[in-house]
Chain A
Amino acid sequence: MTDWIRPTSLAEAVDARRDHPDYLVLAGGTDVMVGAIDRPAPIGVIDIFGLPELCVCEHDDEGRLRLGAGMSYAHLLGDARVAAAAPALVESAREIGALQIQARGTLGGNLGTCSPVGDTLPVLLALDAEIELRGPDGTRWLPVDDFCTGYRTTALAADELIVSVRLPVDSSSREQVWRKVGTRRAQSISKVMLCASTHRRDDGRLADVRIGLGAIAARPLRARATEAVLEGALPDGPLAARAAQAVLNDIAPIDDVRSRADYRRATTARLIRRWVLHLAQTSTTTNTGS
């Protein structure tokens, strides 16, 4: 029989993880339970779903919003602080599965699985989020880009737990956009995901450009070549074209049963272009729309 540990505190959970690094850490189960009936049951489970310390949502002393890893997508959707700091995160959560999945799937679960099609990951990348990991030796914080190391692999150690996600204090002042291209409008696996955010300088130039992409490589990633093209530039039509070209160097999509590499490339490029054109059109200081 599977040994079932249900910690009542984070400290207990960390201890359990230290003592049983071979146990399955389970939150809402929306990922690990798929196909579970066809696999042997795990020898043990550390069940952290609903653990109160993992469901906090609060600003820290420096004004950064800290989201507990145990927050479900339904939590994210219902929280005004998340909506203020990270509207793109709310948008992405709203398009995950449908009510049933939103009630169980968690932010920490999405991170831990680190699927290339994990829907919140491009948002966390585009918002410079940091991940709080806790193990027997204490806490460490990793930028989400360093946390995701490859196809369904992360920097999480065998004795660590994902505790929270922290958004920079400037998140709410960023212009954020979100677009998921899925196989259909709900209950859908993503074919391309884009989350982009930026500040604008007084002269209308873009600053701190961040672009998170999903489903276009083995892991969700930052489009750094594209960001470099856009950083400090004035958004206009030619820049949109340059950015759309640049993003092709950032991504390495594949053909699979859900889409094709050429479509993913072309669509990513068009969405990047669209975002820059959108920035150009909404610019308050210049008239270099299209």
Chain B
Amino acid sequence: MSKDHEDAPMTIGGSPDRVDGVPKVTGTALYVDDLEAPGAWHGATLRSDVPRGRFVSLTRAADFDWSDVVVVTADDIAGQNVVALIEDDQPSLVPVGGMICHREEALALVAAPTRAAARAALAHLTVVVDALPAVTTLDAALRADVAVHNDDNVLKRLEIHRNDDDIDEILARCAHVIEGTYETGAQEQMYIEPQGILAEWRGETCRVTGSLQCPYYVHKALVMLLGLPDDQVVVTQAVTGGGFGGKEEYPSMIAGHAALLARAAGRPIKLIYDRAEDIAATTKRHPARVHHRLGLDADGQLVAADIDVLLDGGAYVTLSPVVLSRAILHAAGPYRIPHVRIVGRALATNTPPHGAFRGFGAPQTTFAYERQMQKASRALGIDAFELRRKNLLRSGDSTATGQVLTDSVGSDAVLDTLSAALERAAPPAAARLGSLHSPVRRGRGLAFCFHGSGFTGSGEQRLAGRVTVACLPSGDFEIRSSSTDIGQGMLTIFSQIASQALGVPAARIVLSEPSTERVPDSGPTVASRTCMIVGRLVERACLALAEQLRAHAAANRLDATDLATVAAHRVAHAGPLAETCEHESPPGVEWSDETYTGAAYPVFGWAACLVDVAVDEDTREVVVERCIHAVDVGRAIHRRIVEGQIEGGTLQALGWALWEAVPYDDGRVLNPSMTDCIIPTSADAPELETLLVEMPFAHGPHGAKGVGEIPMDGPAAAVAGAIEDALGVACDVVPLLPEVLDVLLVDQPPQETLA
């Protein structure tokens, strides 16, 4: 480990101790359920339990003691009954007489002195619903026999066209056409800390604290729901036990409920979900179906791609339009393709809304295009690496939307780094369990992908995120941003950037609590943007501050090499000093939402992932024996934190590929427990070989670009390709459970080899 000297500025590129490390390993870090709230009651949520219907009535049991219970319904909402997001179509609480659109729809809330009492009260509320026909699958949504959104069940449609007027003819003329349909299932984020919010009112001000990624999203939702001015809502992030997108939009729902209960009860309310409720009610990765036709010439050069993307958005619009956007913007892959047609639709179903999860639509379309490339490699007899190198985007090439890539293009570099690493000996794979061993078949799969860093299109310009850095009287510097540390290391990385820019030691950097009363809106903690976009704002604000302080030092004959002392002097003698920076997009970044052309992202990260698998001949269990992931991150501000991001994302992707199923029946999650909705353990995880590639991005802090999401994109296709290589059957769905492989292999006779 590289330990920074305490008096020196933190270095860039090393691995200093995380600034939140000690509180976390000693158990003193306070998560929302750890917060003391004297007199707090516990909240609970009454849900519809029918996929679709009309809410007829709600009655309280006459024989139950309601004296120590508060009940809240839609009638208690002072503002608008919506969970504000992109379109305000989702109610906070379904009113009596209103439409129920999924089973986990909140109908009423209760609070009582204990969790058990709150649950008991829930059991004494009786709901009458007129059930209506529901749409709970993509196929039913497409048929639109029952229309649950407009008349076609389409929540959002987006298209990309690149020289595609006669794409059917072009495909017909191609030497090779690879065609496939790829289905990927819902995936649970499964942060280990379930969602929860603590709400209380102080006078007419509502204060909520909770497990969340985006304080200003929650702020916006509460202002609308409670009908309050901005300054009477304060939202603060508690230490948060993982998010991965799962705490992007849903906390707005819980915060609204907790705030309503707190107002009614006249006391603080803790609304903490247990695991079953969290899995059943909160968002998951969008299930997807991608139909993909890929045309190649006789030499393996890509000619045309015709791609149809369907996402199951669930019952409300929520974030589906932007998930769909990222899905189609990545659907053609990191390849030069002259002719491209992409049509994407997010469909409405009567399931709880699907939402943000690391990768945000890109993993679904990446799975499809890399399976296509694997099939093309096989069909044409061209080596997997060679086919990618023949077609990948290089500096000067343009993407399907016409974005010309010029800066930080790591496409060749990640493939070269990966193939070089293959020369090294593989780390040992997991030993077999049990004493009756079956033969295995082995295979290898490669996936290559890119991932846009930051918000899509003109998103960053619209957001105009801001960061303030202030001099404190003590000579410390306070960074005020609404970015949240959800485990990804923001606190440490911002400290490094600020420490370096100001030339002061780590101890001089203070990160303001992410509370809407103390920090400006830096935009949400999503989209691989925190380090690259907000980190750059931190750097710019610090550099501007340093300049002012150096001027102050010169004017007052102070030692300008010690800016902490200068800052203390400045505040003492000339009053407070702070710098606020607002996001400015690099010049030449043009995007059209109307035509879906131009620069979709400020820059792309690049990745190549290779997976070796062993498939058990008898049980169809898959062991990942080797997994190498080479990722171009621009610049690793903190080496271990970046490796940790890649490894965590990689294992989530392996989980999605192999183990993590979320089956539904008629809009209900069938496995709402950690026992059945499984994620990999340390015994399931392979040794992960992580290779950092650094192609600096001119507009990121020290060259850094996004890293949070890209490791989620490629591994599933690499796994599927490896299993196909092992078994000789096409693996076009995830997760590839043994039960799925067993069906694919049903026609293959058992091998006679002995164990």
Contact = CB atoms under 8 A, between A and B. Distances in A.
Nearest to A177: B436
Interface stretch (B224-232, B359-367, B680-688): B680-688
B680 A184 contact: yes
Nearest to A87: B435
B684 A257 contact: no
Interface stretch (A5-13, A19-27, A69-77, A264-272): A264-272
A151 interface: no
A183 B678 contact: yes
Contact of B433 (A180, A189, A290): A180
Contacts of A178: 434-436
B677 to A, nearest CB: 9
A179 B663 contact: no
B676 interface: yes
A278 B755 contact: yes
Contacts of A262: 742
B435 A267 contact: no
Nearest to B115: A37
Contact of A179 (B436, B659, B676): B436
B738 A88 contact: no
> A interface, how many residues as a size bin?
35 or more
B200 to A, nearest CB: 25
Contact of A257 (B663, B681, B683, B755): B663
Given A91-B434, A180-B434, A187-B681, A281 B754 contact: yes
What's the dominant secondary structure at chain B's contact region? loop
Contacts of B739: 259-260, 263
A194 interface: yes
A216 interface: no
Contacts of A38: 119
Contact of B430 (A176, A185, A196, A259): A185
Contacts of B753: 290
Interface string A88-125: 10010001001000000000000000000000000000
Nearest to B685: A185
Contacts of B621: 181
B438 A274 contact: yes
Given A189-B675, A274-B618, A266 B742 contact: yes
Contacts of B181: none
Contact of A278 (B433, B436, B680, B682): B436
Given A186-B681, A257-B663, A263 B436 contact: no
A267 B678 CA distance: 21
A13 B467 CA distance: 67
A66 interface: no
B618 A267 contact: yes
A270 B659 contact: no
Contacts of A257: 663, 670-671, 676
A136 interface: no
B36 interface: no
B585 interface: no
Contacts of A278: 436, 754-755
Contacts of A260: 739
Contacts of B750: 270, 273
B754 A271 contact: no
A196 B434 CA distance: 12
B619 A181 contact: yes
B204 interface: no
Contact of B659 (A177, A183, A259): A183
Contact of B752 (A37, A180, A181, A290): A290
Nearest to B675: A189
A42 interface: no
A271 B618 contact: yes
Nearest to A278: B755
A88 B433 CA distance: 12
Interface in A135-183: 176-181, 183
Given A186-B681, A274-B618, A281-B754, A267 B742 contact: yes
Contacts of B436: 177-179, 194, 196, 271, 274-275, 278
A178 B435 CA distance: 5
A188 B434 CA distance: 14
Contacts of B438: 270-271, 274
A88 B434 CA distance: 8
Contacts of B742: 262-263, 266-267
B754 A277 contact: yes
Interface string B589-627: 000000000000000000000000000011111000000
B434 A179 contact: yes
Contacts of B620: 263, 267
A289 interface: yes
Nearest to A280: B754
Given A194-B436, A271-B618, A271-B619, A185 B678 contact: no
Nearest to B674: A187
B122 to A, nearest CB: 12
Given A179-B434, A278-B754, A281-B755, 11 more contacts: A178-B436, A179-B435, A184-B683, A192-B619, A257-B676, A259-B739, A263-B738, A266-B742, A277-B755, A290-B752, A290-B754
29 contacts: A37-B116, A38-B119, A88-B435, A91-B434, A178-B436, A179-B435, A181-B619, A183-B659, A184-B683, A185-B683, A185-B684, A186-B681, A187-B678, A257-B663, A260-B739, A263-B620, A263-B738, A267-B618, A267-B742, A270-B618, A270-B619, A271-B436, A271-B438, A273-B618, A274-B436, A277-B755, A278-B754, A278-B755, A281-B755
Interface of B: 116, 119, 430, 433-436, 438, 617-621, 659, 663, 670-671, 675-676, 678, 680-684, 738-739, 742, 750, 752-755
